[in-house]
Amino acid sequence: MNIRQLENIIDRYLAGIATETEKDFIQQWLYQKDVPTGNLGKEKRNTLAAELWLQISDQAGIYKNRKIKSYPTPVFSLYNRFFRYVAAAFIILTGTTIIYLLASRNRKPAVTYSSIVSAAGQQRLYILPDSSRVYLFPNSSLQVPDNYGKKGREILLKGRGFFEVRQDATRPFYVHAGSLHTRVLGTSFEVNVADSNHATVIVRTGKVGIQYNDRDLAILTPDKRLQYDALQLNAKIDDVDAGLLCEWWKGELAFQQTPLPDAIRAVSDWYNIPIHIENKQWLSETVTIRFKDQTITEVMNLLSKTIGFSYRIQQQGIVIY
Amino acid sequence: MDFTPMADTALLEYIRKDDAGAFRELFNRYWERLYQFASRRLKSESDAKDIIQELFIKLWLRRTELQIDTTVEIYLNSIVHYEVLSYISRAIKDKQRKKLVAQTILPDFTQLLDSLQLEELQATVEREVNKLPEKMQQVYRLSREENLSVTEIAETLHVSEQTVRNQLNTAINKLRSGLKEALLLAIFIGSAR
């Protein structure tokens, strides 16, 4: 079989004029049992879903006032009418009675993204086109679609960021971070995704809706913190001083009943020094403490006194034991 | 509103009324299997992405006109089937992409055709063998299916070796003329190669 013959069969099939054997052949191909390759994997699935949804909601204008004005109304040219007929014939042939109308094929260029990265040891402020502000914690990154704000407001976050979102009831603001999706209309809040399994959201003002893995997790109000552990499927909401915790971008690093591993990671990113917790007994500790303009040695001394751990400074970084 | 426990048909009602949340839920339920299907058939993740995007975009744009008489799943499957096939058709008509299709997608079809033809051929041979007289059939099967030698067959059946040889020759001649006709019918896509 050559490419020409394949083209012929497919076209005849789509046009509904294939012979029984040809139909059978195409359907065998369509319905063949696939070697189970398993799921996509959590990480990939979530990124892909977010990416697809972003494109779909953008190009279909889903969040744009419900009325699609910007999208060209399909012109039913001869070409289109032909394909509508073809589609209908195709569907009838396959044994279902479905009328599937095709939209015009004018494909818009794919959305491209700008990446904003903050290096370890450096925080960064980024102002979005709608003048919403994003403060990136050291060692974090942001992806902003180039058409941000045109149809919707969605961005992708890795790491930790504090957001001051400009009020716009018609265009919800979405932060996608791995499996965690945060939706707001206009507020300020922080999202912190340690890895694919741990996430924290703190709300400073307004209301924030949170989804994890496409399930609604919580709606947070000001001074509430959600800590989510995907491994334990455990969501914990507690009261915090959001003003304090979210003001690291003013140079003050604060922790309030924060799990020690989270605090240590923040310190590590902040000072750009690898810190390893060797003694597992410290992993379950929490810490409440504030730092401002202190050196890493001062910070480690304070931490070790508060928690009671010892640490040593090595060539590769700091080890807590 | 929480759409997660809602049945597909109920979701559709909301989607028809422009509810983006319901549409998102429909997307959540189905995108992955549609995507997996498309990427396996097209051997390309980016082409699969294109197809899934377009499919859902159209679905939304046509939400008020949707008429689904079957289940949503069957409906979406038939759309993705259609889209995948027309994607291939368009790719073949595109000079630059034609070669890639020949390298990636065509082999699957060829392989499928080969196995179908082999099955068909075996079935045809079997039908023709069944038409042979009983004794002749026995000799033929011992020779071709059990791989016995002429001497062994003669011993097994208590006949002379010459009889076995004669029977075999006649069997093969009969099959040859029978198959010639049958094969012309069996190869269903003209000259398949």
Q: What is the pLDDT of residues B110-142, one digit of tens each?
A: 888 888 777 777 777 888 888 888 888 888 888
Verify that B55 and B118 share a domain, yes or no: no
The number of domains in chain B is 2
Q: Of B66, B81, B104, which residue is a domain's last?
A: B104
List chain A domain ranges: 42-71+112-244, 251-321
Chosen domain end from B68, B89, B104: B104
Contacts of B102 in chain A (CB under 8 A): 2-3
pLDDT tens-digit map of A243-288: 888 888 888 889 988 989 889 989 988 888 889 898 888 888 889 9
* pLDDT tens, residue by residue, A127-183: 888 888 899 998 898 889 888 888 788 898 989 999 988 888 788 888 988 778 888
Q: What is the CATH number of the domain that holds B31?
A: 1.10.1740.10
Q: Which residues of chain B have pLDDT under 50?
A: 186-193
Residue B29: which residues within 8 A CB-CB, separation 6 or more?
B8
Out of B54, B98, B112, the one facing A28 most closely (by C-beta) is: B112
In a shared domain, residues B31 and B73: yes
Residue A66 pLDDT exceeds 50: no
Q: Which of A278 and A77 is assigned the larger pLDDT?
A: A278
Contacts of B51 in chain A (CB under 8 A): none
Please name which of A185, A220, A187, A184 lies closest in space to residue A201, comparing C-alpha atoms. Answer: A220
What is the amino acid identity at position A138?
Answer: P
Of B104, B122, B142, which one is at a domain's C-terminal end? B104
Q: What is the predicted pLDDT for the residue at A53?
A: 85
- Total residue length of chain A: 321
Residues of chain A in contact with residue B84, where contact means CB-CB under 8 angstroms, are: 30
Q: Which residues of A touch B111 (CB under 8 A)?
A: none
Fold of A42-71+112-244: Jelly Rolls (2.60.120)
Mean pLDDT for A310-316 is: 85
| Residues B40, B99 within the same domain | yes
Same domain for B149 and B119? yes
What does the pLDDT read at residue A73? 34
Q: For A213-238, what is each residue's pLDDT tens digit? A: 767 778 888 898 988 877 777 778 88
Residue B193's pLDDT is 33
Greater confidence, A117 or A196? A117
* Mean of the per-residue pLDDT values of chain A: 78
ipTM: 0.71
pLDDT grade for A92, boundaries at 50, 70 and 90: very low
Give residue A60's pLDDT.
82
CATH value of A251-321 in 3.40.50.970, 3.40.630.30, 1.10.1740.10, 3.55.50.30: 3.55.50.30
**Is A227:A236 a contact under the CB 8 Å cutoff?**
yes
Chain B nearest C-alpha distance from A218 (Å): 12
On whether both B94 and B140 belong to a single domain, the answer is no
Contact across the interface for B89 and A19, Cβ inside 8 Å: no
Residue A77 has pLDDT above 60, yes or no: no
What local confidence, expressed as pLDDT, does residue B115 receive?
Answer: 80
Residue B164 lies in a domain: yes
pLDDT at residue A106 above 50?
no
**Inter-chain touch A52–B52, beta carbons under 8 Å:** yes
pLDDT score for B71:
86
If phi > 0 it is left, if psi is from -120 to 50 it is alpha, else beta; for residue A223 that is left
Query: Which of A111, A92, A108, A109 shows the shortest CA–CA distance to A100?
Result: A92
CB contact under 8 A, A10 and B85: yes
Tell me, what's the pLDDT at B184?
55
pLDDT of residue A196: 66
CA distance linking residue B52 with residue B122, whole number of Å: 40
pLDDT recorded at residue B185: 52
Q: Among B18, B82, B116, which would you mutate to test the A interface (most chain A Cβ atoms within 10 Å of its Cβ)?
A: B82
Cα(A215)–Cα(B25) distance, integer angstroms:
10
Distance (Å) from the alpha carbon of A139 to chain B's nearest alpha carbon: 29
Residues B54 and B15 in one domain: yes
Chain A environment of B2 (Cβ under 8 Å): 216
Q: Which of A158, A203, A198 has its CA nearest to residue A183?
A: A203
Token duo for residue A270: 């902040």
List CB contacts (< 8 A) between B85 and chain A. Answer: 10, 13-14, 26, 30
CB contact under 8 A, A25 and B188: yes
Q: Identify which has the larger pLDDT, A60 or A175.
A: A175
Residue among B27, B78, B86 whose CB faces A56 most closely: B27
Asked, for residue B191, whether it belongs to a domain, the answer is no
Q: Name which of A157, A163, A240 is nearest A199 in CA terms.
A: A157
In this structure, are residues B83 and B51 in contact, taking their beta carbons and an 8 Å threshold?
yes
pLDDT average, residue stretch A296-306? 89
Same structural domain for residues B87 and B171?
no
B50: nearest CA partner in chain A? A52
CB contact under 8 A, A21 and B189: yes
Looking at the fold, whether B63 and B112 belong to one and the same domain comes out as no
Same domain, B99 and B115: no
Contact A59 B86 (CB under 8 A): no
Q: List the CATH number of the domain containing B114.
A: 1.10.10.10
Enclosing domain of residue B54: 8-104
Q: Do B116 and A34 touch (CB under 8 A)?
A: no
Q: Which of A45, A65, A84, A100 to probe by mutation at the B interface, max B CB count within 10 Å?
A: A100
